Amino acid sequence: MVLGTSSGAGKSLMSAALCRVLKRRGEQPLPFKGQNMSLNAWVDAQGGEMAYSQAMQAWAAELEPIAAMNPVLLKPQGNSSSEVIHLGRSVGIAQAEFYYRDWFRPGWAAIRTGLAQLQACHPGGRLVLEGAGSPVEVNLQPRDLTNLRLAQYLRARCLLVADIERGGVFAQLVGTLALLRPVERPLIRGILINRFRGRSELFEDGRRWLERETGIPVLGVMPWLEELFPAEDSLDLLERKPRQGPADLSIAVLRLPSLSNFSDLDPLEAEASVRLRWIKPGDPLGQPDAVVLPGSKQTLRDLACLRQVGLDQQLSSYVASGGSVFGICGGLQMLGRELLDPLGLEGSQGGGEDPSLGAAAAGLDLLPLRTIYDRSKRLAQRQVGMQWPPGEAITVEGFELHHGRSEWLGDGPSAEAARLSAAADLGWWQATDQGGTVAGTYLHAVFEHGGWRRRWLNQLRHRRGLPPLSERQQNHGSQRAKLLDRLADAFEQHVNLDPLLQADG
């Protein structure tokens, strides 16, 4: 099990590295995080919802992601509440103050079921567990679902990760160990210092002090990895930090309060010719080459926020001047004319059962669409042939993850001519009189396909008079696999796993 002294210590990436290293050694690692809180999700082949970080760890282990790897997923939706996902399915809304009262027992049952399902699928595999936050939040310890309760249940050997970049690494480690209960402390088999700048030998005095004071071996000092990854092969693509610097194209991404599934933008960040500029409420839009409206957990609230800061008017002016806009999922819905939310599922004040009486909001009116939200949640992997941008046939894989259905309202191009793909329900596009385009799709991960992504970028490049990029481009998964290999290379070089992997005598 990989535990951390705090959130952001590097547990997810270290767990992914551990999975890839074990796979290289001939084992079958099984990534597992009992409970995760995230708006960055993936949908497995059975239509189960799970955190993207566990999907990435599955790819590191060379496995297909399945929701059993993350049996409890909490998706914050504002007002101290979260949607609760158990074993890939939505099971209700939890208020923070009542979460442990109402959801502890069902959550622990889901975790045990997920473990059983995962081990049944891969008998003989080695579980690689990721903790959450700090394992010693003393007010939560008796009810903690995913750290030491799980470690004790499975008798896991634990690696404690501390981020030295934050400062205070000795206090982080000694304080965490001091707050462990006597029955928990023997679970900690090793310490890992993460994000160390400079030569690891410079930490040798610190290593000796920690081992003397804690009695626990320091198994490794992981370097500040950005120093090991060249610009064209950047670790930023795993940690999702926007790339800076000059580029051929500038693409603005609206970073609204309930932004979800921002991993959809990773493949664009991987393009050396592209710079993403994240636009927060209040920032000027400017004149980028394209604007992307990503997914949202609370679409109508984010739409209201967009209006409150004047981004709606900026977008309208941008399109009127010939700009191009692309929306994904909630972003697609915002581009339409009307959004009906009778049940209050997407941040409106609806609540009735009769759609004719429900809440309605005007969209940005950049595509002739109407969206109606209902209780059904569309969760499915899809494989579709893309009709736009025009060119040779391209089949793209992705997934749906949304409430609501959208319909073309019939003016302008016919609904069939306006479809983004051969599927009637996955997306639409429309050219503007000023030479730009407005388009959108429900297909998450659409930019993962290298050929389609390059075709979309080449439209933008053509308008700038830039030469086209080759559309014979590998899918983003290939680049992600190379990054995971480089991460594992560094992990093997700097971490001694033997004490962690040795069975108890």
Give the Cα separation of 289 and 442 in Å (integer). Answer: 22
Q: Given the residues 402, 444, 449, 476, select the one marked as catalytic.
A: 444
Measured between its terminal Cα atoms, the distance across the chain in Å is 19
Q: Given the residues 305, 329, 402, 476, select the one marked as catalytic.
A: 329
Where are the strands (E) in 342-463, listed by range?
A: 359-362, 369-386, 394-408, 427-431, 437-441
Whether residue 86 contacts residue 71, with contact meaning beta carbons closer than 8 Å, is answered with yes
Whether residue 128 contacts residue 25, with contact meaning beta carbons closer than 8 Å, is answered with no
Instruction: Map residue 53 onto helix, strand or coil.
Output: helix
Whether residue 51 contacts residue 72, with contact meaning beta carbons closer than 8 Å, is answered with no
Backbone angles phi, psi at 289, to 5 degrees: -75, -25
Whether 444 is catalytic is yes
Whether 329 is catalytic is yes
Give the Cα separation of 442 and 445 in Å (integer). Answer: 10
Eight-state DSSP code of residue 262: G
Eight-state DSSP code of residue 440: E
CA-nearest of 289, 187, 233, 70 to 504 is: 187
Instruction: Map residue 482 onto helix, strand or coil.
Output: helix
- The one-letter amino acid code at 368 reads P
Give the Cα separation of 255 and 305 in Å (integer). Answer: 11
Catalytic residues: 329, 444
